[in-house]
Each structure stands twice: as structure tokens, then as C-alpha cells.
Structure 1
Amino acid sequence: MNLVRTSLLNGIAVLIKMLTLLGLNKVLAVYVGPAGYAAIGQFQNALQVITVFTGGAISNGVVKYTAEYHDRLDRQIRLWRTASFCAILGSLIVAVIVAIYNKELGVLFLKSDELGGVFIWFASGVVFFSLNILLLAILNGKKAIILYVVANISGSVFAFFVTFYLAVSYGLFGALVSLAIYQSISFFVTLFLCLRTDWFKISYLFGWPDLGVARKLFSFFMMAVVSAACVPTAQILVRNHIGVTYGWEVAGYWEAMWRLSAAYLMLVTTTLGVYYLPKLSELITAREVKHEVMQGYKFIFPVALLAGAAMYLLRDLVVAVLFSADFYPVRMFFAGQIVGDGLKIFSWILAYVMLSQAMVKLFITTEIIFCGSLYVLTLLFSRWWGVEAVTWAYAFNYALYCVVMYACVYRRLDGHFDAKSGIAG
């Protein structure tokens, strides 16, 4: 597997997913409006927080160790059984809690206990939701790129039709239900694809967990818990600040910009997850890692810059085609968001090194600091320069993150690998 081939194959899935997301943007813009967009963003952030306790938190660990144990099927099976046990147990616990407190969650995240029913829908399928994430992680770690691409395409197409039908038929509630259930149903497609391989059997997912493996996965659980707590929380705080200070329609404009950003960067961000994480996990010297990082800056970073430039130049057309006339004010967020996106990708190339090498303390520390600083900078920038400066706060935050990633990850790689090998403390 090489970077160019993986990017091209992954690009097929990303193109289809991007088209479905952009199509959904149009559907949601028409049927739920700017204020509904803000509610959808809140619900997605809520799911990010909740699913970290269902087994989704260890998916990066499954990718890393599946790739690292590429020549040891017995160790992979122990890994998968342990991960599956954790996912099922965590999902059952979460399902019960979410079902009991669905109205309270509706008030907390959606400002309405009448929308609490969407959490019941999520709880009913959360086990399959978690197992789907696990199977996708296994395919990624095994570098079964074609199957991984097919699974993602199936999920994207299914999500589009389900969301389209439910949003058109039931408005905001239907759109939220679709977000709650589509990955759970996608599990059956992903399982079918895995069973078609000669290296996977469904029995590999069931058995007593390995405590040694569980300890390794726990490091990734801790990183994911912090990330899942901090990132969505920061977004919720920023969205609430915009909504309370400038109105919830403006918060909807910001949410629309955030979703556009995620859509056009999808090729880059998924390539980092699909190629970089398993690849970096296999490497055993600092020189190999640095070479792979440079490859990322030669290939991945320019793609992000070109995509951002195209989005900015075509911003009027993008807003007109993908949204409705009500969303025209989204234009004010483009410049800062696109600069921030470029800085994000620049820093993430190094951040994936931190993740692949399980630099747990550094990851947790930087995640807490920079999620907190995003909110603080948003308050300051918006107070000084108005709501248009919210995305410039995001850009400035990632500029600082770039500096920290270079100083704490890239410059210290030699010492990290020496410590792993026992050469240095």
C-alpha cells in the first residue's frame, strides 16, 4: 500500500461521500433551515461524546495494533476479541443510560424534551453502531482498502436516502433520527464484506478478553475520551456563544461553514486515517517516520491548499448551489475557516505521528489546552472584531498548534524511538 494508490482508492469513497453530504446539506437547508442546522450540529456533537464510551474510543488502537501485528493472526484475533468485548459491554451500558435519561439529554443538547425520542432511537441500535466502527477499523488495519472503500460508499449512499426520506417526511426530528440509526444499519453491510475475506471469521469477535491487549487499548480509550469530551464540548460552547450573543440563525450559518469545511477536506482527513495511521504504526525508526511525514507534506498538504483556494474563489456559487438564499451570510466565515483548515492539515500530519506512537500524555495535554484555547480565543476575537472573527480564532488556534506539534513531536522523534528501544530513558 502506498500513499498515492491509497489516496486514489479512498478518493472514490470520499467523492461519493462528499456528493451525498453536499446533497444532504441542500435537503437540510430547505427542510430544517439555519436554526435546525444548529440543532443537528448539537446532536452530532452529543453523539461524539456518548459513543466514546461504547467502544468507538478504541478504534484507533484497533487500527494501530492490527497493522502492527500484520504477520501474527493469533495476536490480531486476541485484539479483535478484546475490542469486541469492550464495545459490546460499553454499548449495553450506554444504551440503558441513554434510554433512561433521553428527555434530559434532549433538553441538554437540543433544548427540548420533545426531541429526547431521538436518543431512544440511538440507544436501540448502539451495539451495531459500535460494531460497525470496530469492523471498519479492522479493515483499515488490515489495509483491505477496496473493502473499506466499498463499506464507506455503502454507508454514505444509505445515509443519503435515509436522511432524505426522514427529513422530507418528518422535518428536524426525522433528520436527527437518521443521524442516530444509519451507522447501526450499515453494520450488516460491513459485516458481509468482512465475511467475504479469507482472514476473517465472525467467531474472531467473540471470546474472553486479553488483559494485556486491554491495557494497550486503554491508552487509546483515554485519548479518545479526552478528545471526545473536549472537541465536541468546545464546538458546543462556541455554537452556544454565537447563538446566545448573535442569534441562533447566525449559529446555523457557522454550523453550515463547519460542515462545508468537513466535506471539502474529507479526502485529506480520511487519507490520514486510512493510510497514515496504519503506515506509521508499522514503522520502527525515527528516520522512517520523518520520511513518511515529508511525503505527507509533499502530497497531502498541497491538496488541502488547492481545495481551500477553490472553495474560497467559488464561495458565492457554493452557497447558492448547496444551501438556500437564507444561508447567504455564511460567506463572512469563509476566509478565516479556510486559512484555519490549511493550518489544521499541516498540524494533523504531525498529530497522527503522536497518535500512531501512542504518545498518550502529550496527546491528552495538547487536546485539553487547545480545545480550551479555541473557546477563549473565540470569545476574545468576537468581542474585538465581531462574529466574523470566530473563524479567525479557529485559524490562530491551529497556528499555535502547529508550533507545538513541531516542537514536541517532530523534533523529539529520535528520543522517542530511543526510549522505546531501551537505548535511552
Structure 2
Amino acid sequence: MKRFFTILASTGLLTLVRLSSGFIIAKIVATYTGPSGLAMLGQLQGLIAILFGIVTAPLGSGVVKYTAEYIADGYEACAPWWEASLKWLMLLLVMVVIPTLVLSGFISEILFESSGFYWLVCLVAILLPLASISALFVSIYNGMQDYKRYTILSSLSLVCATISIITLTIYFGLYGVLVGASIFSAVSGAFFICASLRQPWFKIKFWWGRANQSHFKQIGGFALMSIVGAICLPTSIVIVRSMLISYTGLEAAGHWQAAYKISEVYQAVITVAVGTFYLPPLASARGRKEIFNQLLIFAKLLFPVVVMVFVFGSIFRDQIVVLLFSKEFDVAADFVMLQLLGDAAKIISSLFVYPIIAKKGVRVFVVGELLYFLAITMSSYFFIRSFGVSGASLAYVMGSFIYLIYVAYSYKVFDF
């Protein structure tokens, strides 16, 4: 418990900055571009999430796990895992960036129903290498449990990136929003590089010449899980948003995007806590009993937060929507309670899925992500046609509870 509150204190600043960043950007975009601008921003951010998630797949849970396991033996012991993750990154960048540039017009047509924004797709692809650096360094600091430096650098990089997108939005309107979103992660990556140049592990000898096929293969297992996760959820949301645009119009899709934005920021904050406090101990836990003890500790801390957010958000949803966006988005309040219910199920499912991730349950994880993708997209198709915009939120709730049931059962039968 003491350790948790130590971590909570050190990451409290990051949580505050992340919350503030997400909602300030949403408020500025809503004020200057309205619901249609917010819907277009959501489509672009969906693309960024997919591409960024694919190329940074080897840099997340795997790097955290093996850094946490071997850091006690020095940087030399961690180096093979870092090198393997870097080689995976370079391979995935080639596989993602080139096709994205070639198909930029087609991708723009799918996202915005116009090929005229192909240059935005190209900008996102070109900046992917720089953007991915922040994900790598965050995982290293997290694995080392250097929470102070991790928190300070992450917070400052978020502030710099947020200022850039706000400035571009104020001066250039919709185009500023889209350009700002495209460079957001790259600004963070540049900041992390500059801030980490003097770190003792930032040397070529720790990044080249130590990995073998076994390291490459084991990082690849985590990469596969992350790639599937990076593709399934963002793609499902892009598909749902496209359905809304087709069946209800861009304006209505913008209202739903406002409600989903609240979910997105809320879940991002919880993900920081889970990744920082829950994953590293799971990586070093041995046997079902130790893993269950970690689950129990985190569940006691997580449940009150989930209940409090759901109750508070449901009661004050009208005021929250107007405060975070504008009166133009008041319709979005109708979807907030459903979104928060889906969030609760998805967040609780993390209690069961992270032990499986930590122990490389690749097949279980991949099946779960595919099930979640199919549940949301297929139910959205029927619910949106029957209930309009609220159908998207109903589909989100249904998909989240199906996923929770699946991962809870998988945890019960998994061979730890």
C-alpha cells in the first residue's frame, strides 16, 4: 500500500497533466471548429492510434517486463531486449510508413470522404519514427521504476505538445487542429530524445550487437499482442464513427465523439496507473497465488475509483459536457452514462487481462481483442440503424461486457 501511494504521488502530476491536456484540447477544438471539426479530429486520431500502435508494438509491455526483470543486473542485462525491440521497430516502420505514403489518397477518402487530405496522412507517416521514440523511452523509465523522471519528462512533453496543437488551432482553425494532431506525438518524441541524451543507458553499446534470435522472438510475442490491440480498438471506433457519419451526419457524429472523448481521456489516465503500478510487479510474480495477490491489491484501489467516476459522471453529465466542450454539444450528455458504463466494464477487465499479458498469453489476448472488435462493429451496425447515435454507445457497452466476461473466464483457466 505504501508503495502504491509513493507511485501515486509521483504520477499524480502526470495524471493531472494528461487529464488537462485531453480536455483543454477538446474544449479548444469544440469552440473553434464545432461538432464537425471534433468528428474529423477523431477520425485523424483514429488513424494515428492505429499506425502509432503498430510501429510501437515492440516497445510497450515487452520492454517494461524485461527491463523490470533484468535491471537489477545492470544495463548490460537489459541491452539485448532493448536492441531486439529497436530492430522490431525499424522493421515495422518500413512495413507501415511506405504503404501509408503510397495509399495516402485512399486512406484520406475513407477517413474524410475526400482525398484532399492525403497530405495529412503523409505527414503522420513521415513523423512516425520520431513519435515512436517517446513510447520506447517511457517503457524504459517505467521498467526501471524511475517514476520521478518518467513523470516529469512525460508531463513536460505533454505540455509542449498541447501548446503546439492549441496554438495551431487558434491561428489556423480546422487545418491547425489536424496539423497539430499529426505532430503531437512527434513533439513528445523530440522532447524525450533531448532530455535523455545524458542518461547512462543512452549509448550505442546498449542498443546494438547483443540480441540473438531468442530475444527477437520473445519481444515479437509481445509485439503481436500490441499490434492486434492497436489495430482492433482504434479501427472499430473509426468504423463506428464512419457509420455514424453515413447514417446520422457529421454533426451527430461530432456529438458522439464528444462523449467518447470523455471515455478516451478517462481510460488513458487509468491506463497510466495500470501500466505503472500493476504491470511491473506482475512481470516478476511467480505462480497463480502471487499474481492473485497483486490483482487483489489493485482491485481494492481500482473499484472505488470506477464507482466514483460512474456515479459523479452520470449525475453531472450535462454540466460536464458544457464545461468541457460547449452548449453546442449538449446532446452529447445523453450518451455519457452509457459510455461510462462501458468504461467501467473495460477498466475492470484490465485486472484480468494484464496478468495474461505479463505472462505472454498471446493466443488468449489476440482472441479477446478480435472478439471485442467484432462485438462492437457488428452490434453498432444494427444498433445505429435502429437507435441512431445512442446505438453506438449501446454497442460499446455490449462489447465491453462481452470482453469482460471473456477475459475473466480466461484468467480463471489460464496456466500461470
Q: Confirm or deny: 8 A CA contact 1:242 1:251 kept in the other structure.
A: yes
Matches within 5 A, 1:106-117: 106-117=108-119
Deviation at 1:103, TM superposition (A): 2.3
**Larger CA deviation: 173-182 vs 326-335:** 173-182
Q: Report how many aligned residue pairs link the two structures.
A: 414
User: Match for residue 260 of structure 1?
Assistant: 262
**Larger CA deviation: 262-271 vs 321-330:** 262-271
User: Match for residue 423 of structure 1?
Assistant: none
User: Match for residue 43 of structure 1?
Assistant: 44
Q: Confirm or deny: 8 A CA contact 1:257 1:333 kept in the other structure.
A: yes
Q: Confirm or deny: 8 A CA contact 1:374 1:394 kept in the other structure.
A: yes
Matches within 5 A, 1:70-81: 70-73=71-74, 74-81=76-83
**Larger CA deviation: 157-166 vs 172-181:** 172-181
User: Match for residue 222 of structure 1?
Assistant: 224
Can you give the 5+ residue segments of structure 1 that lack an aligned partner in the other structure?
A: 418-425
Correspondence for 1:401 among 400, 403, 410 = 403
**TM-score, structure 1 normalization:** 0.91
**Residue type at the aligned position of 2:283:** S
For 2:378 and 2:307, locate their aligned partners in 1 and report how far apart those are by CA, in whole Å. 27
For 2:290 and 2:195, locate their aligned partners in 1 and report how far apart those are by CA, in whole Å. 33
SS in 1 for 2:127: helix
For 1:363 and 1:4, locate their aligned partners in 2 and report how far apart those are by CA, in whole Å. 30
For 2:182 and 2:335, locate their aligned partners in 1 and report how far apart those are by CA, in whole Å. 28
Correspondence for 2:372 among 370, 373, 376 = 370
Q: Confirm or deny: 8 A CA contact 1:51 1:57 kept in the other structure.
A: no
Question: Structure 1 residues 237, 188: closer, same or farther in 2, change over 3 A?
Answer: closer
Please state if 1:175 is matched with 2:195: no
Percent identity, aligned pairs only?
25
Deviation at 1:208, TM superposition (A): 6.3
User: Match for residue 34 of structure 1?
Assistant: 35
- Cα deviation, 1:371-396, whole Å, max 9, x if unaligned, reads 10112222333444443243232222
For 2:309 and 2:94, locate their aligned partners in 1 and report how far apart those are by CA, in whole Å. 41
Q: Confirm or deny: 8 A CA contact 1:159 1:182 kept in the other structure.
A: yes
Q: Confirm or deny: 8 A CA contact 1:84 1:205 kept in the other structure.
A: yes
Please state if 1:244 is matched with 2:252: no
Q: Confirm or deny: 8 A CA contact 2:161 2:187 kept in the other structure.
A: no
Can you give the 5+ residue segments of structure 2 that lack an aligned partner in the other structure?
A: none
SS in 2 for 1:358: coil
**TM-score, structure 2 normalization:** 0.93
Deviation at 1:225, TM superposition (A): 2.0
Deviation at 1:10, TM superposition (A): 1.7
**Residue type at the aligned position of 2:346:** K
Deviation at 1:67, TM superposition (A): 1.2
User: Match for residue 361 of structure 2?
Assistant: 359
Question: Structure 1 residues 284, 264: closer, same or farther in 2, change over 3 A?
Answer: same
Question: Structure 1 residues 50, 268: closer, same or farther in 2, change over 3 A?
Answer: closer
- Cα deviation, 1:258-297, whole Å, max 9, x if unaligned, reads 1111223443221011221222111112111101111121
**Residue type at the aligned position of 2:329:** F
Question: Structure 1 residues 6, 162: closer, same or farther in 2, change over 3 A?
Answer: same
Matches within 5 A, 1:14-413: 14-73=15-74, 74-201=76-203, 203-207=205-209, 209-409=211-411, 411-413=412-414
Question: Structure 1 residues 19, 53: closer, same or farther in 2, change over 3 A?
Answer: closer
Question: Structure 1 residues 95, 266: closer, same or farther in 2, change over 3 A?
Answer: closer
For 2:40 and 2:141, locate their aligned partners in 1 and report how far apart those are by CA, in whole Å. 33
For 2:133 and 2:57, locate their aligned partners in 1 and report how far apart those are by CA, in whole Å. 8
**Residue type at the aligned position of 1:9:** S
For 2:241 and 2:109, locate their aligned partners in 1 and report how far apart those are by CA, in whole Å. 16
Deviation at 1:350, TM superposition (A): 1.0
